[in-house]
Amino acid sequence: MRATQGTPVPSLLLVLLFSPSYFAAAGLVAKRALTVPAALPGAWNYQGCYTDVGRTLDAAGYVDDTSMTVESCISFCSSRGLQYAGLEYFHECYCGSLLAPATAKVAESDCNAACAGNATEPCGGGSRLSVFYSSVPVGPQPNPGVNGWAYIGCYSEGATGRTLPYDVGGDVIPTANMTVAKCTAACKAAGYILAGVEYSGECYCGNTIGGGGAPATDGCNMLCNGNQTEICGGPGRLNVYDYLMQYPVSTSTKSSSTVATTSAISSSTAPTSSFTSTETSSSSPSSTVSSTSASSVSSSLSSVVSNSSSQISTSSTVSSATSVTPRASVPTGPAQPPTVNGWAFYGCQTEATGARALGGATQATDTMTLEICQALCASSGYAYFGVEYGRECYCGNKFELGSVPAPASDCNFLCPGNNLEYCGAGNRLSVYSKNTVVSSSSSTTSASTSSSGTTTGVSTGSSTSKTLSSSTSTSSTVPVGTGFPAGWSYQGCYVDGANGRILEYQAPDSQTLTQQSCATLCASKGYKISGTEWSVQCFCGNTVINGGLKGVETDCNTACSGDNKQMCGAGGRMSIVSLGAPAAVLPPAVQVGGLNGSWTYQGCYEDNVNQQRTFFWQNYFPNTMTANQCLNRCAQYGYMAAGLEYGQECYCGDPANIADRGATKRPETECNVLCAGNSSAYCGGGSRLSTYFWTGTPFYTWDFPQDYRAGQYQFLIDGVTIPLMTMQGINGKVSFISKWGTGPANETGAYELDLSVLDNPAKAWRALHLKTDVFCAAGIVLPDKGGRQLTVGGWSGESTEGVRLYWPDGSAGVWGTHDWQENVNELSLQVGRWYPSAMVMTNGSIMVIGGEVGSNGAAVPSIEVLPRTGTAPLYMDWLDRTNPNNLYPFICVLPSGGIFVAYYNEARILDERTFATIKTLPNAPGAVNDDLAGRTYPLEGAAVLLPQRAPYSDPLGVLICGGSTNGVSNALDNCVSTYPDAPNPTWTLERLPSFRVMPCMAPLPDGTYLIANGAQHGVAGFGLATNPNLNALLYDPTKPVGSRITVMANTTIARLYHSEAITLLDGRVLISGSNPEDAIHPEEYRVEVFLPPYLLSGKQRPTFSLAATDWNYGGQYTFALGHAPVNGAISVTLLGAVGSTHGNSMGARTLMPAVSCNGLSCTVTSPPGKYICPPGWYQFFVLDGGVPAVGVYVRIGGDPAGLGNWPQYPDFTVPGV
């Protein structure tokens, strides 16, 4: 492919030796090693592979299908001041200041997609992010301070007025010139101690934070108009500066009976904030409590805690006091702060049994910090606050039954609003107490409640501390019966959470929740059931799932936050309202019945053993996954094993993969995640596969012969060049055409190999000469009587327009005198082409299609004809649309008279005169997880035409094997075939025993096809593929679909990019080349041959003599056998003369004409016309019971375009017609 395509890819993959279990295991092939760049910019570091939940990073992002790398994504995020960068699915980049709370770190093997711009780097995977983090701020930041002004944080504009009231105005500082220095200078000149910059160009001043303005965790993200390296607030956000630190950071108000909490200051661009709490500076006891908090809260309490007494103070007046809080030092790592705004860490606590541990007020936010939760609970008069699962805040005056102390290490979830603090975990709360009460794992915690509902004390060991009084209101459990959507009604109190949530959708918590508001919300979203729980939570669904059952009505005893006269569930209880009676499904279980086809459940199996997938092919079906969806997909692509994982992941492979990967069966309880599309069934778990095998008629059966039927590789001769193209001439000699100009300096560009003198290499190899570079050109054999070889196109410059001709001469053991002829000034293409295809059409002229401008240039989406007709190249929009994955398209003449073209994953039939589209075929199947996988260069497969047998009444078949996917470059493990002339053509898919990209396919005289060469991962190009496929396959189209492949012998020579395979007249297959330029595998000069089984069976080969070698259509021609048949019936085969390059055997065609024999005299009937057999040269084989004689070349159909007289230029000699 591209000479400058990329740097060599180091490979850590071992070449796997042949074994039947290996080839039965499609998932066994190791993927390329992906490594994080050793040197990352600045303070960026790799964090690991994370799940993408909705959007784990959602502040910015972009997609780049060709150039995405780790470095480019980090640069993008840095430019936006965002300290997290995540790469996903090879071409996506996302940025943020925080990771979404629900994300989780997973196995590195999940991030298995190579970056589109650097195939050695990891760019996540499907719903997986390769996450990077900068430990210091990146990109533009708030100015830390200037001329005595210190930055104190990002603030929201006030709700009731300006946060800073004085507007400097554009007449003082033009908005286009705004900087922090200019704003602070203006405010100082006006006599203010606070300055704020907003919306890139606005400046405000003041002496206090007013109007309800408060610290903000985000939104200060706009660059200053006058200084693009610093931030000037944002919409409704100010970056605020304090002159000589005269403004107190935390101040209690001077109102009566008030506890004030003022926000801690932190930069909106930093991902963390300080958590160190402070004490009042007053040395005397005071009834005023001062603390830092994530939001400013002022609450009037009926009781105020006294610092000098453990009793509850009922004083109604509070002395005026002001305390200034010194700024805290920045912590160096996550920790559980010992205090938060005067509240002491109580301990890590479990949830209660069937209820919340803390049953008071609650709040949930994706920016949760300990300070936010403390402020909520303090303002509501509670004695305890607890933060759970990172984002949930709960308040209370006592712990409900069943809540017990847990190890502090259990509370290990980072707070999403401050990742230097811990905010509980799953079923664990980080609890703080207003009165310094410390939990101990060795002592019990109990609460006594008076008959009035007032908590009088919390006992911890031998000491008791008083808590705030609380009261519980009593309200009816009967919901208000009006205001529901039409047809909706209350259904009762249901048990929630026993096996998971009983309704699938959870709305954001609401502080004004009622049963009516929840039902209205659910109805608006298309659901039929609503459920309210824990006063503020609203759930929706269409069925009650996870075994939810109606419970005791009085269990739903938590008043709705928006109406304390009705109940909104309770802990583990949901008040259900629905449209009609709610439908319910049984408790979930693994699906073992109702499976499409003959699938049988095998059990719960391990995945990711030694960080390798048990089944290779990975699909994602978010929100829709069911067992049948996964099984159907795997069956569609011929896989007889399927594994369902983590609710929405589907893996396809083969039963043998389990043993090959070392996966063991696990308890069924470990496959415990519900299917995303069927809440009544389990679809695996974390690294656990609900595994199914196909137990019906096998999708495939492959033969693994151990005798002569496996064929044999043999060394032939040491080469003198690495051919990019090979052709056997009508003189029996083989042309080796190389990349002259970009190859070794001593090469001449072309060589001819005489197979009759292999024992004398100096005589066997004859040097020929080219003037332009045939690197990635097209080549065919012309139908003129000289059997001239033609190449068109090439690497760069005038080579791309090159038209070169060679007229083979000489004989066995005798060198010829002809050489390649070219002169681009006399004979050339109309437009330059790199990677084109060429074909002899039925009128004898030459069709040239597609390609690119040389040297990695733009597409050349057109068709032209040689010799020139006076018509300019015809533009083909479908070639333009599918560039660059359509190079070297597969083309052939169809019996219907059309021209078939397969390109990328598409195919169509063209009119032979106008090249207009006659029929568009369905897209060809690709990979089981990628419908956009391709078959033509650079996603390179190989194509052949299936045999046409007399009387030629069956449609012509096309077979394409191998290919690859975009981005992750997973080589395909299947072949596809179609019959384009059928009324409604479809594609039939057949599995290959192993992955293969860059294969070669050679038609054999017995009607079978040899598949050889290529790699098991990657795409075509220098250094872009790895893990050579050393194994040969034999494809027999006479066998049933799925049973046509025999696994043949192995070679020891890697045949990667620029390797070829062509069938010789003696029935062997010539195997040559390999030019990977990857610093791993050698540049391969050795030439091999593959001996098919018919040459190793020990059966006698026939001989024959044929007088006439220039045939007309429909003519009868006699040949004489050298001896009577000894192996079976006599048959004949015609194989089109080919020019083979990049897996594209241009001119290949297999015809099996009618033959009859009388004794040793036999008569063959030539094919009937040009649409069955386009004019040209064909190898003619006589077979005795499937064993071929050495063949000869015959020409069929003559030279209808008179190419034998073309071109008429001084630098060219022509054979005539």
Any idea which residue has 């405010």 for tokens? 187
Burial class (CB in 10 A: 0-12, 13-18, 19+), 547: middle
Provide the sign of the torsion angle of the four alpha carbons 512, 514, 520, 525, taken in this order.
positive
Is 417 domain-assigned?
no
Please check the confidence at residue 90 and state whether its pLDDT lies above 50: yes
Any idea which residue has 């004898």 for tokens? 844
Is 991 domain-assigned?
yes
Same domain, 247 and 172: yes
Task: Determine how many CB atoms are found less than 10 A away from the CB of residue 696.
Answer: 12
CATH of the domain at 772: 2.130.10.80
Please check the confidence at residue 919 and state whether its pLDDT lies above 70: yes
Could you give the percent of the chain with pLDDT greater than 90? 64
Please check the confidence at residue 321 and state whether its pLDDT lies above 70: no
Assign 930 to helix, strand or coil.
Answer: strand
> Which of 17-21, 236-240, 952-956 shows the lowest per-residue confidence on average (mean pLDDT)?
17-21
What is the domain count for the chain? 6
Is 271 domain-assigned?
no
The rounded distance, in Å, linking the Cα atoms of 375 and 299 is 10
CB 130 within 8 A of CB 49: yes
Q: ω into residue 867 within 30 of 0, thus cis? A: yes
The rounded distance, in Å, linking the Cα atoms of 703 and 1001 is 19
Q: Which of 679, 694, 709 is the last residue of a domain?
A: 694
pLDDT tens string 704-738: 999 999 999 999 999 999 999 999 999 999 999 99
The rounded distance, in Å, linking the Cα atoms of 169 and 204 is 8
Assign 1162 to helix, strand or coil.
Answer: strand
Q: Which of 643, 676, 694 is the last residue of a domain?
A: 694
Identify the pLDDT of residue 885: 96
Q: Spell out the residues 6+ positions from residue 719 whose beta carbon is closer than 8 angstroms to its own.
A: 736, 1072, 1085, 1086, 1087
CB 539 within 8 A of CB 505: yes
Length of the chain: 1217
Same domain, 678 and 812: no
Assign 1105 to helix, strand or coil.
Answer: strand
Assign 5 to helix, strand or coil.
Answer: coil
Please check the confidence at residue 278 and state whether its pLDDT lies above 80: no
Three-state secondary structure readout of 492-537: EEEECCCCCCCCCEECCCCCCCCHHHHHHHHHHCCCCEEEEECCCE
Average pLDDT over residues 788-807: 95
Same domain, 181 and 77: no
Please check the confidence at residue 454 and state whether its pLDDT lies above 50: no
Assign 216 to helix, strand or coil.
Answer: coil
C-alpha distances (whole Å) from 1096 to each of 454, 710, 1009, 1091 are 97, 9, 17, 7
pTM for the full predicted model: 0.62
Q: What is the CA radius of gyration of the chain?
A: 39
Across the chain, what does the average pLDDT equal? 85
Average pLDDT over residues 756-784: 96
Burial class (CB in 10 A: 0-12, 13-18, 19+), 1205: middle
257 or 965, which is more confident: 965
Is 435 domain-assigned?
no
Burial class (CB in 10 A: 0-12, 13-18, 19+), 165: middle
Displacement of CA 744 from its chain's centroid (Å): 39
Identify the pLDDT of residue 436: 57
Identify the pLDDT of residue 273: 29
Same domain, 1019 and 1147: no
List 804's β-bridge partners, or say none.
791
Is 481 domain-assigned?
no
Same domain, 649 and 741: no
Average pLDDT over residues 183-200: 93
pLDDT tens string 1057-1108: 999 999 999 999 999 999 999 999 999 999 999 999 999 999 999 999 999 9
Residue type, 136: V
Average pLDDT over residues 204-225: 88
Residue type, 847: M
Any idea which residue has 């200034």 for tokens? 324
Identify the pLDDT of residue 1014: 98
Displacement of CA 757 from its chain's centroid (Å): 53
Provide the sign of the torsion angle of the four alpha carbons 471, 472, 473, 474, taken in this order.
negative
Same domain, 244 and 100: no
CB 1003 within 8 A of CB 1146: no
Same domain, 35 and 127: yes
Q: Spell out the residues 6+ positions from residue 28 whose beta carbon is closer than 8 angstroms to its own.
A: 16, 22, 616, 657, 660, 661
pLDDT tens string 408-449: 888 888 888 887 889 998 788 999 998 755 553 323 333 333
- Which band of pLDDT confidence, cut at 50, 70 and 90, is reported for residue 483? confident
The rounded distance, in Å, linking the Cα atoms of 423 and 430 is 6
Q: Spell out the residues 6+ positions from residue 492 whose beta carbon is closer than 8 angstroms to its own.
A: 550, 551, 553, 575, 576
Please check the confidence at residue 513 and state whether its pLDDT lies above 80: yes
Structure tokens at 419: 């990742």
- Per the structure, the complete domain to which residue 1125 belongs is given by 1104-1196
pLDDT tens string 107-151: 998 898 899 999 899 999 888 999 999 887 777 788 888 888 889
The rounded distance, in Å, linking the Cα atoms of 819 and 750 is 9
The rounded distance, in Å, linking the Cα atoms of 967 and 278 is 53
Structure tokens at 717: 């001769």
C-alpha distances (whole Å) from 50 to each of 40, 130, 1064, 1193 are 19, 7, 54, 62
pLDDT tens string 341-355: 988 898 999 888 767
Pairing of strands 1110-1111, 1192-1196: parallel
- Which band of pLDDT confidence, cut at 50, 70 and 90, is reported for residue 607? very high
Structure tokens at 690: 């609900």
- Which band of pLDDT confidence, cut at 50, 70 and 90, is reported for residue 587? confident
Is 161 domain-assigned?
yes
Average pLDDT over residues 351-368: 84
Average pLDDT over residues 1025-1029: 96
Same domain, 685 and 551: no
Please check the confidence at residue 398 and state whether its pLDDT lies above 60: yes
Closest CA to 963 of 919, 927, 1002: 927
Identify the pLDDT of residue 702: 96
Q: Which of 548, 579, 610 is the last residue of a domain?
A: 579
Please check the confidence at residue 310 and state whether its pLDDT lies above 60: no
Helices (H), 640-751: 656-661
Structure tokens at 544: 């009650």
The rounded distance, in Å, linking the Cα atoms of 1084 and 12 is 21
Provide the sign of the torsion angle of the four alpha carbons 326, 330, 331, 337, taken in this order.
positive
Closest CA to 835 of 865, 806, 855, 864: 855
Identify the pLDDT of residue 401: 77
- Which band of pLDDT confidence, cut at 50, 70 and 90, is reported for residue 333? low
List 95's β-bridge partners, or say none.
60, 85
Average pLDDT over residues 982-1008: 97
Same domain, 748 and 682: no
Any idea which residue has 């064929």 for tokens? 711
Please check the confidence at residue 623 and state whether its pLDDT lies above 80: yes
Residue 763's H or E segment, with its range, is: helix 761-764
Could you give the percent of the chain with pLDDT greater than 70? 86
Assign 162 to helix, strand or coil.
Answer: coil
- Which band of pLDDT confidence, cut at 50, 70 and 90, is reported for residue 175? confident
Same domain, 568 and 605: no
Got the DSSP string for 396-433?
Answer: ESSPPTT--EE-GGG--PEETTEEEEE--BTTEEEEEE
3-state helix, strand, coil in the chain (%, to 5): 10, 35, 55
Residue 1158's H or E segment, with its range, is: strand 1155-1158
Pairing of strands 1150-1152, 948-949: parallel
pLDDT tens string 707-716: 999 999 999 9
Region for residue 1140 given its phi and psi (left: phi exceeds 0; alpha: psi -120 to 50; beta: otherwise): beta
The rounded distance, in Å, linking the Cα atoms of 1111 and 1093 is 31
Closest CA to 373 of 1043, 328, 361, 1070: 361
C-alpha distances (whole Å) from 873 to each of 397, 851, 861, 862, 863 are 84, 13, 9, 6, 5
Is 278 domain-assigned?
no
Is 332 domain-assigned?
no
Same domain, 609 and 757: no
pLDDT tens string 626-684: 999 999 999 999 999 999 999 999 999 999 999 999 999 999 999 999 999 988 899 99
The rounded distance, in Å, linking the Cα atoms of 602 and 669 is 14
Identify the pLDDT of residue 249: 62
Same domain, 81 and 99: yes
Displacement of CA 485 from its chain's centroid (Å): 43
Q: Spell out the residues 6+ positions from residue 1126 whose beta carbon is closer than 8 angstroms to its own.
A: 1099, 1100, 1184, 1185
